[in-house]
Every structure is written in structure tokens, then in C-alpha cells.
Amino acid sequence: ESKSEGRNKLRVFDPATLHARQLQRQIVGELREAIRSDQLVLNYQPIVELATGRIEGCEALVRWNHPVHGLIMPDQFIPVAEATGLIAELGRWVLRTAVGQLRQWRDNPATSQHDFSMRINVSAADLQSLEFVDDVSEALAEESLSPESLVLELTESAIIQNNELDRYTLASLHRLGVGLEIDDFGAGYSSMGYLRKLPVDRVKVDRQFVKDLGKDPSQLVFLAAIQDVIRSCGLEGVWEGIETAEEAEALRSIGCASGQGYYFGRPLPEAGFTEQLTRLRTWPA
């Protein structure tokens, strides 16, 4: 990994090296302990209504504050968690922590003027778990939050496996009333047919599409077409990876509803995000 990517972004395992394999084995053992001993933290990133700057949601993104290796990013340990079954425990921790945090922001007079929903990332394995729907509904009930307060982000690959249990879980979650969103739309190889068949409400378009806009402004026509497909399926589009004012403006000009990206704010730990919520009514100021 290049130095420019930041010294905190340690690449913990790289299948090419023996050292990396040893580290990975070590991580499997340590991750279980990490979940239980408060080494995981959630960062929060705003999701903004492009026309008004209103914050309509925030995405919880997990990091591992490792005592020796420092801050480890999710790409480095979520796959390990998924491969070892630890993802269920990790997912429950994320669910409870994020929902508890939303309750705190609603109760805090300095932040309660913001009426936004919490977004969490859900793994394919979660949809395979029979307890998942109950976990979600219990977590919401414990914090006295309505189901619409929570949006579950699911990647294409997680939902188009298309087996019966997945479909059953999705239908149950939909009936419960939580928001369902496809994440990283367009990143995979899948067809778009499932957009009309699944009980989802939102589609988060992969950040690759916004990135390409910076290289070639004529891409905007293509983005507008994607936007039309999403809308014609009766869904709302969320655009991720917005890094500049120009990108935000371009998306606004073609009628995109919502956006997320470094331009509006980087993912921040609880304290930093609370400070922003306290200071800002709309994004960006």
C-alpha cells in the first residue's frame, strides 16, 4: 500500500505474503475479543438531500481500533468476519450500537432538531440468519425507535443470491417497516431486472459513476439515464462518492435526490459527528 493512502490505513492481510497469512490467522482470533472489548468503533457519514442540504440520514461505518496495528478499515476485516461466521456477532454489535446512537442524538437537545435515519450495512450472511429480523425489531423496540428510523444497506451480491431464505428475510424486513436499500448499485455484473422484483425502497449508486463524471462531463447523460431507471422503478436514488461542489451541482441539475461523500463530510467518530450536528442545520454550511 502506498504511503499516500495514509499511515493509519494499514493493509493487514495481503494473500501474497506469508506474513499476511499469519496476520489473518491472528486476526480471526482477535476479532471475537475485539467485538466484546470495545475495540470496534462506528464512524458516521451524512447523507444529504441535494436540493436543500438537509441531512436525511447517516451511514454507520465500522472500524477496528486495534491495540497494536492501529485503526483497521472494514475492507480488511469484514471479509474475515464473513468467512468465519463472526459476522453475525459483529452485525449485532453494529445494529445495537448504531440504533443506540440514534436514540442519543434524538434525546440530546443540541442535536434533536435533525430528524434523520440511521443506515447500517448488512452482510449476505445476516439475511441467511433466521434471527436477524427479530434482532432488528428488538433493537428498535429497546430504543423506542420506529422502523423507518433504520435503513439497511444491502449489496447487490447479498440480495441477488436469490434463495428462498433471503427472499423470506427481505419480505419480513419490508413488512416490519425498516427501509431497504441496495448498496453499490452498478458495481457488479448483475442485470437490473431485480430492481422491480425486490421489496427495496432505495438504490445507492456505486461511487464509480460519480468518479467518472470528473474525468468526462458527458458522463452526466449516462448518470441521468441511471437516475431515470431508478425512478421508473419507483425507487429513490442515493449517489455516493460526491467529493466536489461541481459533482454535487451536476447531480442536482439532473434531479438526483440524495448524496453522500467527502464533499458533505467524511465519516467521523461519534464526538465529531455530534459536533457537526450541533453546529450545522444543513450540509454543507
Interface positions with ligand C2E (CB under 6 A): 45, 61-62, 73-75, 78, 94, 121, 123, 153, 183-184, 207, 241-243, 260-262, 267
Binding site for Mg ion (CB under 5 A): 121, 153, 183-184
Q: Please report how close the Cβ of residue 172 comes to ligand C2E at its closest, in angstroms.
A: 19
Nearer to ligand C2E, 94 or 145 (CB): 94
Minimal distance, residue 75 CB to ligand C2E, in Å? 5
Residue with cell 448499485: 185
Query: Nine-digit cell at 218?
Result: 458527458
Going by their DSSP bridges, the two strands 40-49 and 268-269 should be labelled as antiparallel
CA-closest candidate to residue 11, choices 68, 73, 67: 73
By C-beta, is 114 or 207 nearer to ligand C2E? 207
| Identity of the residue, 153 or 166, whose beta carbon is nearer to Mg ion in the bound complex | 153
Q: Which residue is nearest to Mg ion (CB)?
A: 153
Neighbours of 142 (CB within 10 A): 12
Cell numbers that stand for 102 in this block? 440514534
Task: Give the nearest distance from C-beta 185 to Mg ion in angstroms.
Answer: 8
Report d(CA 197, CA 199) in Å as an integer: 7
Q: Are 172 and 127 in contact (CB under 8 A)?
A: no
CB of 265 to ligand C2E, least distance (A): 9
Closer of 147 and 259 to ligand C2E (Cβ): 259
d(CA 200, CA 136): 16
- The CB-of-110 to ligand C2E minimum distance in angstroms stands at 25
Task: Name the maximum alpha-carbon separation found in the chain.
Answer: 52
Nearer to Mg ion, 145 or 158 (CB): 158
62, interface contact from ligand C2E, Mg ion, none, CB < 5-8 Å by kind:
ligand C2E
282: DSSP letter: B
